[in-house]
Structure 1
């Protein structure tokens, strides 16, 4: 016969003791039951999906392609630094303007006069060439996406960004 001792509160001592003792958990590893040919099909589908996601990617330009744009800037194109203002203190590429990525989405939707008053330069036209750069190329890719989603069509991305620019400028001196 099983005896149970009841403690105050109505919980049995047996349950209380069972709850207090640690029981080891056994982890088991199972091999996948998915056949290799299905794994390959899933991988191919993911790659196709990635390709579809890349349709917004801006044309990537190199240091050599950007250099002439900085030496003789055109009013028909913008070189936009998307770093935060604290980072811009390190320096900027000549002829660039600063439009931080954190405010870009909202700023591109502002009326032209409010945009100019806020940022100190004219708002780019939808078909105007815009080249984005940041510190290392990650935020400039995001900025290209933001611009594309706001209806801008002539977008370039300098993926080398500030790190490559500053390094190559040191070597040129």
Structure 2
């Protein structure tokens, strides 16, 4: 009489061959769905326009990383100012100290945060730094102020 092992192993192998393709398809679908739920790291003007004119500005933190002199020439509505030179220190501050220094509530590591600057270079640096520090919801408006200004007709003073 054959042993249990000699009968069970071929049966398990056969069932795994039948079920595996379905399992892999389900796994691929789950991975695709998770990626689809994540927003792209680069933000478009249309998203910024929607943010400025919609109710999402309460859910999304828009941060201008330009210097004070540049900010004085114009800003994207609903944005907050944290100069690039202060970003690393700002992200390390306790919530209360951050709010006292910058005048708005500090965002969490999973909150959606969009950085912008004049042309996208400094906002990209802020984005990279935040990612390195574990902020998962950060994004970069790569067109930044120049793109926004051109598309809205706002001009610097």
**TM superposition score normalised by structure 2:** 0.69
Structure (1 or 2) with the larger CA radius of gyration? 1
Q: How does 1:25-104 map to 2 (within 5 A)?
A: 59-72=41-54, 73-104=56-87
Alpha-carbon separation, structure 1, partners of 2:75 and 2:127? 19
Aligned length: 114
Runs of 4+ with >4 A deviation: none
Alpha-carbon separation, structure 2, partners of 1:66 and 1:156? 11
- Corresponding residue for residue 150 of structure 2: 167
CA RMSD of aligned residues (A): 1.3
What's the CA shift for 1:98?
Answer: 0.5
Alpha-carbon separation, structure 2, partners of 1:95 and 1:81? 10
Normalized per residue, which structure has more helix? Answer: 2
Unpaired stretches in structure 2, ≥5 consecutive residues:
1-39
SS at 1:69 equivalent = helix
**TM superposition score normalised by structure 1:** 0.63
